[in-house]
Amino acid sequence: MSTTTDTVIRKGFLSTRVRPFTAGLRRTPIIPLAIITLMVATAILADVLTPYSPVDISLSERLRPPFWETGGSLSHPLGTDPMGRDLLTRMIYGTRVSLVVAILSLIVGGGLGAALGLISGYYGGRLDGFLMRAADTTLAFPIILFAILLSVVLGGSLPTVVIAVALILWARYARVIRGEVLSVKERDFIAQARIAGSSSARIILRHLFPNVLNTLVVLLSLQVGWVIIVEASLSFLGAGIPPPTPTWGSMIAEGRDYIASAWWVSFFPGLAILATVLSFNLFGDWLRDALDPKLRQM
């Protein structure tokens, strides 16, 4: 009898504790998280990871191939660019630039969009109509053209890229958060808060915002890859961060005339963009499933 009871207990423990835990490990995006962690650590430790400068020119070392090809050397593992600069060093510093642009753009654009979405959804009426029409107009405006115009007016720089991306990005957050607020504000606890005499600001900050926070976090994680692609596109076109500051987009642009003879100049920065964007998108998908109770139960 005790043996049967112990078996039942062990099976119950496995089904309620161990199996969900191991299933969660299988669902966790280990490889994307490892790549993201590597990118963040690289951006933080860029100054100590390489002995080379990302901007100093050495024409005697120009267009050296990766170490595994004839003429390559371990002193320049991924080769050098047309100016003789170490490609791996410039990619490491380019990681810092891409992540800084993404973080600042998401903080500014995401914060502004979330605030306007909360206000628009809660108050409704003419204010809601005005803000949503402004969001629609913003979404219809091409980000590349807008950034080029800002670059002409303000000059190409990191703040210009951040402003251009944030001024387009806010509309996406405003529309999504507004939709969540329209659903949440009809629930009973919001009506009870009004009856209790809570102010509109208190209801928005203490009741509405915590209920849309999961959506905001998921949206932030999914938009990192988009911001990195936009920044690389602007740098590729010459409307982003000007040289000699290393960015992945400008590195690809520098190597487009050497595709046949020095493929590595464009290939490795492009591979970095692919790996980073794909990792953030996969992590965002996993985070959405993990934070959504319905998907988590499935």
Give me the DSSP letters along the chain: -HHHHHHHHHHHHIIIIIHHHHHHHHHS-HHHHHHHHHHHHHHHTHHHH-SS-SS---GGGTTPPPTTSTT-BTTBTT-B-TT--BHHHHHHHHHHHHHHHHHHHIIIIIHHHHHHHHHHHHH-HHHHHHHHHHHHHHHHS-HHHHHHHHHHHH-SSHHHHHHHHHHHHHHHHHHHHHHHHHHHTTSHHHHHHHHTT--HHHHIIIIIHHHHHHHHHHHHHHHHHHHHHHHHHHHHHTSSSPTTS--HHHHHHHHGGGTTT-THHHHHHHHHHHHHHHHHHHHHHHHHHHH-HHHHH-
Please give the model's pTM, rounded to 2 decimal places.
Answer: 0.81
177-218 pLDDT tens trace: 998 898 888 888 888 888 888 888 888 888 888 888 888 888
pLDDT of residue 293: 58
| pLDDT tier, 297 (very low <50, low <70, confident <90, very high otherwise) | low
pLDDT band at 294 (very low <50, low <70, confident <90, very high): low
Supply the pLDDT for residue 221: 86
Name the class of domain 28-297. Answer: mainly alpha
Q: Model confidence over 90-101: pLDDT tens digits?
A: 999 999 999 999
Question: Given this model, what pLDDT does residue 158 score?
Answer: 86
- Each domain of the chain, given as residue ranges in start order, spans 28-297
Question: What confidence category does residue 26 fall into, taking pLDDT thresholds of 50, 70 and 90?
Answer: very low
Least confident of 42-46, 256-260, 286-290: 286-290
Higher-confidence position of 214 and 23: 214
Mean pLDDT of the chain: 83
